[in-house]
Amino acid sequence: MRAKGEGSLFKDSQGRWVAVIELPQRGGIRKRKFIRSVDKAKVLAKRKKVLDELDQYGELAADSTSVKQWFTYWLNEVVVKEVRPATFNGYRSVVNQHIIPGLGERTKLTKITARHVRAVHDHVLSADLSSTYALNAHRVMSASFETAMKEGRLRHNPAKLVNAPRKAVRSLDVLDLDESIRLLAAVAHMPDGARWATSLLTGARRGEVIGLEVDRVTDFIDLSWQLQRIRRAHDGKPIVPSDYEYRHLTGGLYLTRPKSKAGWRIIPLVEPLQSIIARHIEESPPNPWGLVFTNNGRPRDPDQDTKAWNSVLDQTFGRDRHVRLHDLRHSAVDLLYLAGVPEDIIQEIVGHSTRTMTRAYKARGNMDRLRAAMTQMSELLSSPETSRTPEIGA
């Protein structure tokens, strides 16, 4: 007698062996899986595989969802609710540009193999992108497949069948001391020169600088908010995790909290930056948002801000330099090291996430050391061995 759940085995009118397996019902609807082959041994082997899967998981992995359908669902229903907007945009970019094309948008999710995963790596590298980017694509794939496993759509993670690409060692193009002084001299004559001086002399991130408000500039710069662009739903509400703190400015631009408490920092404002920012605020007409830096009175769009920096870089050093705006943080760190600032204070000034000092910047006892550090860097830039730091806006 056949045991319960084993299903039936018979020959059909075409002489093929057919195995019928009863599947768990959903909504009271009877479901069965048919396995057909002229080879009885193949049918028996496939039936055993299905029965083993049913015994282990209680159901079969879905086999009709395509790669495009799955990753679209994963991004819009899972990722968007769990990560910050900037992270989501990065995921969406790598998924749409490389993962879906590499895997094949019509490929069934359950049919993905190691070969498909390698195809994604190749797709990234063939676009002249770095192995670091390929590693990022691999990690995004793996995270998505882990979710698919949790939802019962996959029984294993295909990304784990392949070694992840190794992260390449990249040489950053960073301004040295002489070039930093040259940059300050160049931007001294630009209408938005104070904006670039602030990045170089504080190591603050792009969003922190363009999101800086006048009432957070005193003897200190309060970097507790940053400006970002956020996607919005049809009802106009930003698409963000439920615990995401934000303030709306205009359109898709928002002030948001830094991603970690280490980013919530206050740094002393010393010369020459103190005078540079004070002069800029005095000469700039007020704006409805109380922002220090604007684009013709409007909040600075992050992408447009980066393009503006690239133009400043070309004007100052020519087109053979490729210093990213974010890498002015590296220049600031290098300058602090050259000025002899202790490493723990450097990390506190620039807000590195590797430090666990979540509230250290609030402690007034540290302010003397922070102020001394900022002053040391300023003195380095204006020392007799180099040249006097130009007055921006003068």
pLDDT in tens, 98-123: 999 999 999 999 999 999 999 999 99
Task: Give the per-residue pLDDT at 63.
Answer: 59
Task: Give the per-residue pLDDT at 62.
Answer: 56
What pLDDT, in 10s, does the model give residues 260-288?
665 678 889 999 999 999 999 999 999 99
Strand partners, 22: 32
DSSP string of 46-86, one letter each residue: HHHHHHHHHHHHSSPPP---BHHHHHHHIIIIIGGGTS-HH
Computed over its alpha carbons, how large is the radius of gyration of the chain?
A: 29
What pLDDT, in 10s, does the model give residues 190-222?
999 999 999 999 999 999 999 999 999 999 999
Task: Give the per-residue pLDDT at 239.
Answer: 86
Residue 33 belongs to what H/E stretch? strand 29-37
Residue 354 has pLDDT above 60, yes or no: no
* 249 and 289 Cβ atoms separated by less than 8 Å: yes
User: Any idea where the domains of the chain sit in the sequence?
Assistant: 8-57, 67-161, 177-381
* Residue 34 three-state SS: strand
Model pTM above 0.75: no
What pLDDT, in 10s, does the model give residues 6-16?
458 888 888 89
* Residue among 326, 253, 329 at smallest CA distance from 287: 253
What pLDDT, in 10s, does the model give residues 62-83?
557 899 999 999 999 999 989 8
What pLDDT, in 10s, does the model give residues 125-141?
998 888 888 999 999 99
Token pair of 17 as six digits = 């062996």
Question: Sorting pLDDT into bands at 50, 70 and 90, what band is 97?
Answer: very high
Residue 321 has pLDDT above 80, yes or no: yes
Give the whole-angstrom CA distance, residue 67 versus residue 204. Answer: 39
Residue 375 has pLDDT above 90, yes or no: no
Within the chain, residue ranges assigned H as helices are: 40-57, 67-73, 85-94, 100-103, 114-126, 131-150, 177-187, 193-202, 206-210, 273-283, 302-317, 328-338, 343-350, 367-381
Residue 163 has pLDDT above 80, yes or no: yes
Question: Sorting pLDDT into bands at 50, 70 and 90, what band is 357?
Answer: very low
* Residue 299 three-state SS: strand
Q: What sign does the CA torsion over 360, 370, 175, 338 have?
A: negative
What pLDDT, in 10s, does the model give residues 214-260?
999 999 999 999 999 998 888 888 888 888 899 999 999 999 998 76
What pLDDT, in 10s, does the model give residues 15-35?
899 988 887 765 566 777 888
How far apart, in Å, do the first and last CA atoms of the chain sit? 97
Residue 360 has pLDDT above 90, yes or no: no
Task: Give the per-residue pLDDT at 289.
Answer: 97
For strands 246-250 and 226-229, give the pairing: unpaired
Question: Sorting pLDDT into bands at 50, 70 and 90, what band is 368?
Answer: low
Burial degree of 126 (CB within 10 A; 0-12, 13-18, 19+)? exposed
* 218 and 204 Cβ atoms separated by less than 8 Å: no
* 230 and 85 Cβ atoms separated by less than 8 Å: yes
Q: Over pLDDT 90: what percentage of the chain?
A: 48
DSSP string of 307-329, one letter each residue: HHHHHHHHHHH-TT----GGGHH
Residue 363 has pLDDT above 60, yes or no: no
Question: Which DSSP symbol is given to 188?
Answer: T
Question: Sorting pLDDT into bands at 50, 70 and 90, what band is 184?
Answer: very high
Task: Give the per-residue pLDDT at 95.
Answer: 97
C-alpha dist (Å) from residue 223 to 247, 266, 269, 308: 15, 6, 12, 22
**CATH class of the region 177-381:** mainly alpha
Q: Residue 28: left if φ>0, alpha if ψ -120 to 50, beta else—which one?
A: left
Residue 370 has pLDDT above 80, yes or no: no
Question: Sorting pLDDT into bands at 50, 70 and 90, what band is 5?
Answer: very low
Name residues whose C-beta falls within 8 Å of residue 204's C-beta, 6 or more positions apart in sequence. Answer: 198, 212, 221, 223, 329, 350
> According to CATH, what is the number of the domain 67-161?
1.10.150.130
Task: Give the per-residue pLDDT at 274.
Answer: 93
* Residue among 244, 246, 195 at smallest CA distance from 225: 246
What pLDDT, in 10s, does the model give residues 139-152?
999 999 999 998 88
Q: Over pLDDT 70: what percentage of the chain?
A: 86
In one letter, which amino acid is 128? Answer: D
Give the whole-angstrom CA distance, residue 299 versus residue 255. Answer: 10
Mean pLDDT, the chain, integer: 85
